[in-house]
Amino acid sequence: MQSQEQDISLLIEGCLANNRKAQEQLYRLFYGFAMSIAMRYARSEADAADIMSHAFVKIFKSMHTYDASKGTMYAWIKRIVANEGIDYIKTQSKFNPIELEEAMAPSIDNSVIARLEAEDIMDMIKKLPPATHAVFILYVMEGHTHKEIAVKLNISEGTSKWHLSEARKILKQTLQLQTE
């Protein structure tokens, strides 16, 4: 692990010196990791590639702001890619201001979920409406609170709760159709 940290440090130095070879190596090193984050926000690989290209431009332009004492390069890159994913979703969708204090969580039979592959579940999530997809990803996969989501997406907490409830409802319906 120590060796990888040293290698990353050398790549960072190269990127700061605007060395194209170091940038390419950093890109190759973090591509799979970053793409897995981008795919959470995208509906297709092409959309994820757009998110990635914007994210890596930001990564290289803001490399001077990376501080290893505050976290790993993985965490820093994850934050940038996730923020690009959120920006992408904002441009793709309109959020309807819906206020709800409590949203009912539909129950889903665990035996149905057990029969599905992770890829199948991700495909269902990608088919959610854009705003609902964004809230679901941020809440369930990224672990944000409704308050944090409201700030990130410029919506109310109630709207965030509604979108999460709607995502669960749609996913439950989709899962039920899979078992029929």
CATH number of the domain within which 120 lies: 1.10.10.10
Is 105 contained in some domain?
no
| Same domain (yes/no): 121, 174 | yes
| Same domain (yes/no): 76, 128 | no
Long-range contacts of the stretch 34-37 (C-beta < 8 A, 24+): 34/77, 34/78, 34/81, 37/78, 37/81, 37/82, 37/85
CATH number of the domain within which 14 lies: 1.10.1740.10
Express each pLDDT in 117-141 by its tens digit: 667 777 888 888 888 888 988 898 8
State the total domains in the chain. 2
| Same domain (yes/no): 89, 29 | yes
| Same domain (yes/no): 77, 142 | no
The residue among 99, 121, 100 whose CA lies nearest residue 112 is 121
| Same domain (yes/no): 54, 22 | yes
Residue 87 identity (one-letter amino acid): D
Q: Is the dihedral of CA 18, 21, 23, 26 positive or negative?
A: negative
Tell me which residue range forms the domain holding 171: 116-178
pTM of the predicted model, to two decimals? Answer: 0.65
Express each pLDDT in 158-169 by its tens digit: 999 999 999 989
| Same domain (yes/no): 77, 3 | yes
Is 100 contained in some domain?
no
pLDDT at 99: 46
Is 161 contained in some domain?
yes
C-alpha angle 160-141-125 in degrees, rounded to nearest 5? 75
| Same domain (yes/no): 59, 25 | yes
| Same domain (yes/no): 125, 62 | no
| Same domain (yes/no): 35, 73 | yes
Could you tell me which residues come within 8 angstroms of residue 146 by beta carbon, excluding any fewer than 6 positions away? 139, 157, 160, 161, 164
pLDDT at 117: 64
Express each pLDDT in 72-86 by its tens digit: 999 999 999 999 998
| Same domain (yes/no): 4, 86 | yes
Cβ burial, residue 106 (10 Å; 0-12/13-18/19+):
middle
| Same domain (yes/no): 35, 84 | yes
Mean pLDDT computed over 98-118: 50
Residue 122 identity (one-letter amino acid): M
pLDDT at 174: 83
